[in-house]
Amino acid sequence: MRIIMLVDMDYFFVACEELRNKEIIGKPTVVGFDPKQGKGRGVVMTCNYEARKYGIRSGMPISMAYRLKPDAIYLPLDYDWYEKVSKDVMSVIKEHAAKFEQVSVDEAFIDVSDKVSDFDDARIYARRLKDNIKNRIGLPCTIGVSYNKLLAKMACESAKPDGIGVVAESEAKAFLENKSTDDLYGVGRKTKERLEAMGFKTVGELAKANPMDMMENFGAFGIELHDYANGIDNSEVNENYEIKSIGREHTFEKDTSSEKDAIEAIDRLSKEVIEEVKKNGFAFKVITLKIRYSDFSEHLRSRSIRYSNDIKDVMTISAQLYRDNVEKDRKVRKIGVRVSGFIKRKGQKSMEDFAR
């Protein structure tokens, strides 16, 4: 029997802040861009559960958060600190796993099939792991336990915060039945709407869909979705986690249609991206420019090149992508530069350094 766990830290960035500042514990706290008395731009990265009571959420404009709770504590981002804490957390999780796959700064899958005998045993094991993270790092987390990655992740979401959620094979159908389709991995707003148009609101309904209809509408992804709805996911915990892309974004103080502003931002972002690329010993072959306009509509444009780690490539190609694609009569709110398609160059760091 396979037993998979997904460990996800609770309100991670704010929890990291709590570690070094006990005064904020228990008070509504937001990490993100400066709200500037409600005039600030950019978004909420995360907030603690006290702040969530006021409706504040990750990804929400910081100005909206400010409207909801002006006297919350607003803290700026400190990625270096969060990554340091993340590394410590991951090393504790790794100790408990036969197979370990970090999937983001604050979550990792582990395969513990050869460490526990059944789901009762797994629950005890999850409790021990959770206690170890709490005692050694000082942070709360939630652990989802199931027979595959899909359900481990969903079990975790359902048990948030500070919980342990277990879904055994015999419980999967009932667990999935009334979930919304966008609770499934890979289903965002658009797919959810398309599924709804086909008459599928819940995962239970989707489970009964005709696979051929799904295939017709979504291609191979449709079959995958139908599998997911039936609790089927055979993907392995993949130990060779690697960073897939590195990007940085900039939100302008004021929406702008000035090419000079844009190029300045691109140059600065390129510098930051390249620093990160070099730190990891990567070379990349795809450069992607993101333009977000005032109305929040977004345009992504990519170009492939020969492998490079040269800042000039990032700067000139991003600038070219900007000039070729920007709609001059519209104002730009945000610009992003991202590189991907990595190979590792000589002098690369160990896997441990990649697994961040």
Cα–Cα distance for residue pair 9/106, rounded to 1 Å: 5
Q: How far apart are CA 112 and CA 259, in angstroms?
A: 53
Under 8 Å between Cβ of 2 and 33: no
Q: Is the distance from CB of 48 to CB of 55 less than 8 angstroms?
A: no
Active site residue 236: no
Q: Is 355 among the residues that bind ligand TTP (CB under 6 A)?
A: no
Which residue number, 8 or 111, has a Cβ lying nearer to ligand TTP? 8
Q: Which of residues 69-88 bind Mg ion (CB under 5 A)?
A: none
User: Which listed option, ligand TTP, Mg ion, none, makes contact with residue 105 (CB within 5 to 8 Å by class)?
Assistant: ligand TTP
- Give me the residue label for tokens 């460490």: 115
What is residue 287's three-state secondary structure? strand
* Residues from 10 through 29 that contact ligand TTP (CB under 6 A): 10-13
Mapped onto helix, strand or coil, the DSSP state of residue 283 is: strand
Binding of ligand TTP by 147 (CB under 6 A): no
Q: Which CB, 8 or 101, lies closer to ligand TTP?
A: 8
In the list Mg ion, ligand TTP, none, the entry touching 13 (Cβ below 5 to 8 angstroms by class) is ligand TTP
**103 vs 223 by CB, closer to ligand TTP:** 103
Choice among 101, 107, 224, 276 that is catalytic: 107
Cβ–Cβ < 8 Å for 166, 155: yes
- 283: closest CA among 303, 307, 247? 307
* Nearest distance, CB of residue 276 and ligand TTP, angstroms: 15
Among 106, 111, 233, 313, binds Mg ion (CB under 5 A): 106
Residue 145 bridge partners (DSSP)? 5, 166
Query: Judged by CB, which is closer to Mg ion: 11, or 282?
Result: 11
Q: Where in 12-31 is the site for Mg ion (CB under 5 A)?
A: 12
Cα(67)–Cα(64) distance, rounded to whole angstroms?
5
The piece of 103-111, 221-229, 238-246, 326-334 that touches Mg ion (CB under 5 A) is: 103-111
Max Cα–Cα distance, the chain, nearest Å: 64
Question: Per CB under 6 A, which of residues 77..116 are in contact with ligand TTP?
Answer: 105-107
Q: How far is the CB of 355 from Mg ion (least distance, A)?
A: 15
Whole-angstrom Cα distance, residue 305 to residue 351? Answer: 26
Stretch that binds ligand TTP, among 8-16, 93-101, 123-131, 237-245 (CB under 6 A): 8-16
Nearer to ligand TTP, 183 or 259 (CB): 183
Which residue has the CB atom at the shortest distance from Mg ion?
A: 107
Q: 308: buried, middle or exposed (CB in 10 Å: 19+, 13-18, 0-12)?
A: middle
Binding footprint of Mg ion on the chain (CB under 5 A) = 8-9, 12, 104, 106-107
